[in-house]
Amino acid sequence: MKISINHISKSFQKTAVLQDISLEVADKSIHCLLGSSGSGKTTLLRILMGALTPDAGSVSIDAVKVPDKALLSRIGFMPQQDGLYAQLSIEDNLKFFAGIYGLDHTTFLKSSNELLEIVNLYDERKKIVANCSGGMKKRVSLICAFIHQPDLIILDEPTVGIDPLLRKQIWDYLHAQKETGKTILITTHVMDEAEKCDYASFLRNGKIIITDTIPHLVENAKNDSLESYFFLKGEH
């Protein structure tokens, strides 16, 4: 799914959080929104999902103007926090989110078993979420976003607080999903994450400083690290 963001601006109590943001997210790609805390990443995602109305500008996904309820069934979303019901088991959480997307029992079982296997949680599926470790919760939260086999997946800082091994597993899974034709939009404030994407957009003070493919960015950075390059760009 292709995302077109056109001249989006948003303010909260006279504080401009997003200023004239324009961005194209290519179909079947992994696009990263990189920026420090408070740079406007989550606000942009909320506008994309139709949770917030922009003060100016518009968003369209596959040429359909947002907000559109039908679009939401094709999007998977993972919030910054886990967004899970702590008193329920891993399986019950998946069942609930599958249910609200209208999955029948057979499709749910097929999809959940497959996803649980990928994140190594199949044997733990009956475990109550409150008793799970932070890493397990993150994995459950991630697969909840994939349970209804969406075409576009929006992940808000999915790898925060995740150990390196699990982070690698998650990235492998995201790349595998991209290969099946899905578009993934991910926010992060970690530079290493950006290097694993096809495209990266650097947000600073509510503005997009630069958007490019990772190879181009690395090439332009020359001897600098991507981090230094972004900050240098941000200064100008």
Partner 1 sequence: MPHIMIRIFRQMFHDKRSLALLLIAPLFVLTLLYFILGDSGYKPKIAVYKVPEQISESLAKTCTIKTLSKPLSHKNLFLKSNHYDGYIYLNKNNLSVYLLEKNETTAKVLTSFSSPQKNVSSKAADYHVSYAYSSDSTNKLNSYGFVFLGILSFFFVFILSGIAFVSEKNTQTLERMLMSPLSRLSVILGYTLGYGVLCMLQSSIMILFCAYVLHLTFRGSILLCMLIMTFMSFASVETGMLLSLFADNDFQMIQFIPIIVIPQIFFSGLISIDSIPFHLGNLKYITPAYYACFALKHVMVYQDGFSAILPYLSGLFCYIVVFYFLNVLALKKYRIL
Residue 194: φ, ψ to 5°: -60, -35
Shortest Å distance, C-beta 97 to partner 1: 7
Distance CA 221, CA 56 (A): 33
129 and 85 Cβ atoms separated by less than 8 Å: yes
Separation between Cα atoms, residue 189 and residue 128, nearest integer Å:
30
Q: By C-beta, is 78 or 217 nearer to partner 1? A: 78
Q: Assess 108 for contact with partner 1 (CB under 8 A).
A: no
Residue number, 121 or 144, with CB nearest to partner 1: 144
Contact with partner 1 (CB under 8 A) among 70, 126, 180, 223: 70
Q: Dump the DSSP string for 18-49.
A: EEEEEEEE-TT-EEEEE--TTSSHHHHHHHHH
With a CB cutoff of 8 Å and minimum separation 6, the contacts of 116 are: 90, 94, 122, 125, 143
Instruction: Verify binding: residue 122, partner 1, rule CB under 8 A.
Output: no
Q: Minimum Å distance from CB 12 to partner 1?
A: 13
Q: How many residues does the chain have?
A: 236
Smallest distance from partner 1 to CB 130, Å: 9
Nearer to partner 1, 135 or 234 (CB): 135
By the 8 A CB rule, do 165 and 119 touch? no
Nearer to partner 1, 87 or 228 (CB): 87
152 φ, ψ to 5°? -120, 130
**Candidate list 20, 29, 96, 127; residue touching partner 1; CB under 8 A:** 96
The yes or no reply on residue 73 touching partner 1 (CB under 8 A) is yes
Residue in this structure with the two tokens 């992060």, named with its chain if needed:
188
Asked whether the beta carbons of 159 and 167 are under 8 A apart, the reply is yes
The least CB distance from residue 79 to partner 1, in Å, is: 4
Among the residue ranges 28-36, 94-102, 109-117, 178-186, the one whose residues contact partner 1 (CB under 8 A): 94-102
Would you tell me which residues interact with partner 1 (CB under 8 A)? 49-53, 67-70, 72-73, 75, 77-89, 92, 96-97, 99-102, 128, 144
